[in-house]
Amino acid sequence: MRTVYYTASSLDGYIADERHAIDWLMQFPDGGHSSYPEFIARIGALCMGSHTYEWMWQHHIGPAAAEPMAWPYAQPTWVFSSRDLPRRPDSDVRFARGDVRTAHAVMAEVAAGKDVWVVGGGDLAGQFHDAGLLDEIIVTTVPVTLGRGMPVLPRRITSPPLQLVSVRQMGPAFVQLHYQVQRISGTAAAPDRP
């Protein structure tokens, strides 16, 4: 079981602009080049921060969504928030707050050998890293710059640096960078795929 932060980022390192908009990302047709289907197939549980969840609620899954869609995840999903947030009856959404280690222990158990996906945002991924629980970072770089916004991973990770596992061109526009988090001891787990 691995805990993986899988996201898309602008070239200058933002996963959303300062208004939480991702129109700059959605402008690209998938074109059948996305790695998402193979990625989600190995996920047993996922988690996200409240702003990511609220963005989904507002745009896609809430009653007033501009572009309504079904709850997109078959896997149990943990939403981190200090507030009480709404939940759709057809979704397996569970709420958590505080130390990520508490929720992670349950996510790992529920995932039953499959991986845990940290959807974002960047600080939540940073909390998993702070706790020594983040194993991999997979960032798809999108050929735009935003100037400012929500950073991909607002932490200083320099020593040991991240270990590059692979670089994949995804269609005509995207580049996917796959990193493994090295532990202080230098004993990073071996990657289980290219």
Site string for ligand NAP, 17-56 (x = CB under 6 A): ---x-x--x----------------------xxxxx--x-
Query: Are 188 and 182 contacting, i.e. CB atoms less than 8 angstroms apart?
Result: yes
Q: Which of 11, 36, 69, 97 binds ligand NAP (CB under 6 A)?
A: 97
> DSSP secondary structure string, 173-192?
TEEEEEEEPPPTTS-PPPPS
Query: Are 86 and 62 contacting, i.e. CB atoms less than 8 angstroms apart?
Result: yes
Name the residue among 136, 64, 134, 63 with its Cα closest to residue 100: 134
Return the structure tokens found at 177.
């960078």
Site string for ligand NAP, 50-69 (x = CB under 6 A): xxx--x--------------
The yes or no reply on residue 139 touching ligand NAP (CB under 6 A) is: no
Q: In terms of CB distance, is 23 or 186 closer to ligand NAP? A: 23
Site string for ligand NAP, 155-194 (x = CB under 6 A): ----------------------------------------
Query: Are 8 and 15 contacting, i.e. CB atoms less than 8 angstroms apart?
Result: yes
Q: Which of 111, 121, 128, 170 binds ligand NAP (CB under 6 A)?
A: 121
**Which contiguous run of DSSP H or E holds residue 106?**
helix 100-111
Q: For residue 119, what are the CA distances in angstroms to 25, 73, 170, 172?
A: 15, 12, 19, 24
Q: In terms of CB distance, is 13 or 188 closer to ligand NAP? A: 13
The yes or no reply on residue 15 touching ligand NAP (CB under 6 A) is: yes
**Residues interacting with ligand NAP, by CB under 6 A?**
7-8, 15-16, 20, 22, 25, 48-52, 55, 80-83, 97-98, 100, 119-124, 127, 150
